[in-house]
Amino acid sequence: MGFKKYSLLGWSDGGITAMIAAARNPELIKKMVVWGSNAFVSQDDLKLYNMVRDVSKWSARMRQPMEEVYGVQAFAKIWEDWVDGIAQFANRPEGSICMELLPLISCPTLIIHGEKDPMVPSFHPHYLHKNIKGSRLHLIPEGKHNLHLRYAEEFNKLVEDFLEE
């Protein structure tokens, strides 16, 4: 597209992708914002993932938008496959997804996290903040995994201010 530098925003697995891209291509990345992301899979994470494996037990509000996109049976299969796939990282040293890459991230980074995120426990954003040099951590006390939707105004202001600095 002709851009020499660009900023990355990544939610959840998209945040993992952004961190990997920022670590491997520091000359291309101006700034990065990640939320609901992690760099490793712990035993606590595995318990959480297995608790939400069966999408039929999810609330309709959480399940229906995905079922409308993928179909009821396809979404259930896609989600089970995701749980199985992410669980495999627990077999790597320290459960690393991209832990070893975090020190290579040199762009200004904003980490946003909902303190009530049921999918990504609060130790993850603190780990990212500690291991990404010069990063900032902003916690949203009532935020959950989809904080960018529920707290869109606050989230958008945070991101916009950060990117415009």
Contact 137, 113 (CB under 8 A): yes
Q: How far is CA 127 from CA 72, 133, 164, in A?
A: 36, 11, 26
Residue 38 to residue 123: CA distance in whole angstroms = 9
Which is the catalytic residue, given 117, 124, 138, 148?
Answer: 117
Q: What is the DSSP letter of 58?
A: S
Catalytic residue among 12, 42, 96, 106: 12
Buried b (16+ CB within 10 A) or exposed e, 111-121: bbbbeebebbe
Active site includes 12?
A: yes
Length of the chain: 165
Distance CA 114, CA 142 (A): 6
Q: Known catalytic residue: 145?
A: yes
Of 113, 124, 145, 148, the catalytic one is: 145
Question: Residue 95 carries which DSSP code?
Answer: G
Phi, psi of 131 (to 5 degrees): -105, -5
CA 25 to chain centre: 19
Active-site annotation, residues: 12, 117, 145
